[in-house]
Amino acid sequence: MINKKIKSKSNFFWIYAVIFAIFLGIFFFKSSLSNPKKIDQDTFFDILSKGEVQKIVVKHKETVLVYLKKNVFFQKNPNTYNNEKKLTSSLLKYEFEIGDLQFFQKKFEDYKKKYNLNTTIDFKNQQEYTITKFFFDYGIFFILLIIFWIFIFRRISATGGGPGSQIFNIGKSKAKLFDENDNVKITFKDVAGLEGAKEEVQEIVDFLKSPNRYTKLGGKIPKGALLIGLPGTGKTLLAKAVAGEAKVPFFSLSGSDFVEMFVGVGASRVRDLFEKAKDKSPCIIFIDEIDAIGRSRGKSSIAGSNDERENTLNQLLTEMDGFETNTNVIVLAATNRSDILDKALLRPGRFDRTIIVDLPELNERKEIFLVHLKRLILSNNVDIDFLAKQTPGFSGADIANICNESALIAARKNRSKIDNQDFIDAIDRIVCGLEKKNKIIKPNEKKRIAYHEAGHATISWLLEHSSPFVKVTIVPRGRTLGAAWYLPEERQLTTVEQMKDEICTLLAGRSAEEIIFKNISTGALNDLERVTKQAQSMVTIFGLNDRIGNVSYYDSTGEDEFNFSKPYSEKTAQIIDEEISKIIKEQSQRAKDILKNNEKKLSILANQLLEKEVLFREDLKQIFGERPFPDEMNEVFN
């Protein structure tokens, strides 16, 4: 029945369209009949001499309109005569421009006398069109046009609009609605790790499902929850799981969906979103990347440049604060830039809960690997514990990428199953880039690279607090010509000794170059960048310098983004520079001393590296013996 109605409406649309096209064709055909052909004066007088001209009309003393006699006109246009016998006002045929009117009139009169003509001449200097004439000529066309557009608009409003009707819905919310009719398959079982975040979000879902369980004790529904975490940690995935678990309407959109070039559109979309949410209550609104509209107000360097964004934020604040306690609408939002959000947005009553979504730890990474490995075909030697320990600092998105990349590498090698080595190659590929086997490196440069990387490996093996060594390679990848791989310990606190050992390990590459080649190269750029930041953080952030003392110039509120003055004096700045330089020089000399004491073993390691290109932990054991310090990760490699 509904399909028949839609079909009949579509038929009526085409009928109206055809009628409109017919009237439009008649209008333009009629107009074409009255369009005169341009000629010159000599041609006119030639036609006049033949007695074919009935009359001429001089307009504004410049233009002459030439009307032919009826029998002559229809002889020249037989098709028009056959089809348009009833048109008696279409004798206008030619027009031309004149210069001197008096000269033209004299010549015209001379031709009339010479050829005995009865052609008349009229003059028109007044306005050509009156309101009445204009209406009769064009009024019907415009009336039909208006009726046609009214019909189109009514169809747009009746059908809900299409691509052509977007301009009429510009103030409407772009939120996508998920309800019981949508098959949202992601649940909390698919979100590995994030146990604390899942617990808090699960409580919100339970509140919407059975609010009496909480309200009977006097509790109120939270207005909102803000998910804060680094990119790829699973904030959006957690929100998708909420949509799959809640079994209540779920509105999903991005903060940028409120942004538009037209003034007032953002605020209008916020109002429309919350009106829809109230109608679907109980429900959840999820705003991803809320920092697009939630940035702190009044901090733009250009006055008035963010008025529209601030108006949108003001409307959002009003809507969230204006909810009644019994509306059962909760706002979830996600951002990785919480430091720039407006304080009014973060206060209780709007976002009552702040849920931190951290990078996964060792056990959580193992759970994430298990989730993503379900769909892969694995060989028996894949060690998930090893992979979890091999990926410290990796987010859930990074781990998903490793699993996918390992499958691609295995397929590239024509394997039927994914091997443990494929995962290691995938980690190398993601961290350092694609292996460049055809990169041309001169022998002397390759030797320098080998000693540089051997220096890193040697120091990391001999220092107590350096990260456990995994492998060293001189195979170029991405922008790197070589790399030493470690397994960083996952610790919550770092001591001064640990930071100094890390700096010493980073400086070991350049120190090895200086010892062996008596000069240095540009190959330590990345090492020096990391060393400088490490030493700077020791002095200015963590208060780990005796001369500066227990002082930190770090601003966790993000206010320094808009403050261009230093929080310390010029004298203190000089002391900071001196202490940073002192730390780096001390650790550089320490690295040189250790390498000089082990120069023979350093050379053996570098030569083996030149021969094999990749050396592992077992190779270093053969050269240096067992590591002289307890290694928490020994069981990983045993």
**From CA 43, how far away is CA 32, in angstroms rounded?**
22
* Number of residues that make up the chain: 638
How far, CA to CA in Å, does 172 sit from each of 32, 264, 286?
45, 11, 17
**From CA 483, how far away is CA 501, in angstroms rounded?**
18
Spatial contact of 156 and 168, defined as CB atoms under 8 Å apart: yes
**From CA 591, how far away is CA 602, in angstroms rounded?**
12
Could you tell me the maximum CA-CA distance found in the chain, to the nearest angstrom?
Answer: 131
Which residues have CB under 8 Å from 477's CB, separation 6+?
428, 429, 432, 433, 434, 435, 436, 483
How far, CA to CA in Å, does 210 sit from each of 123, 204, 277, 324, 565?
90, 10, 18, 18, 53
Residue of 542, 540, 545 lying closest to 568 (CA atoms): 540
Active site residues: 453
Which residues have CB under 8 Å from 448's CB, separation 6+?
513, 517, 521, 523
Backbone angles phi and psi of 285, in degrees to 5: -110, 125
**From CA 172, how far away is CA 169, in angstroms rounded?**
5
Q: Which residues of 575-592 are buried (b: 16+ CB within 10 A; e: fewer)?
A: bbeebbeebbeebbebbb
Cβ-based neighbour number of residue 263 at 10 Å: 10
Helix axes 617-624, 443-462, angle to 10 degrees: 80
What's the one-letter identity of residue 548?
I
Spatial contact of 381 and 416, defined as CB atoms under 8 Å apart: no
What's the one-letter identity of residue 341?
L
Which residues have CB under 8 Å from 344's CB, separation 6+?
317, 350
**From CA 95, how far away is CA 35, in angstroms rounded?**
9
What's the one-letter identity of residue 512?
A
Vertex 616 angle, CA 515 and 442, to 5°: 50
Residue of 33, 110, 102, 107 lying closest to 73 (CA atoms): 33
**From CA 638, how far away is CA 625, in angstroms rounded?**
15
**From CA 234, how far away is CA 191, in angstroms rounded?**
8
Three-state SS for 59?
strand
Spatial contact of 422 and 410, defined as CB atoms under 8 Å apart: yes
Spatial contact of 36 and 94, defined as CB atoms under 8 Å apart: yes
350 CB burial (10 A radius; 0-12, 13-18, 19+)? buried
Question: Which position has the token pair 């409580």?
Answer: 203
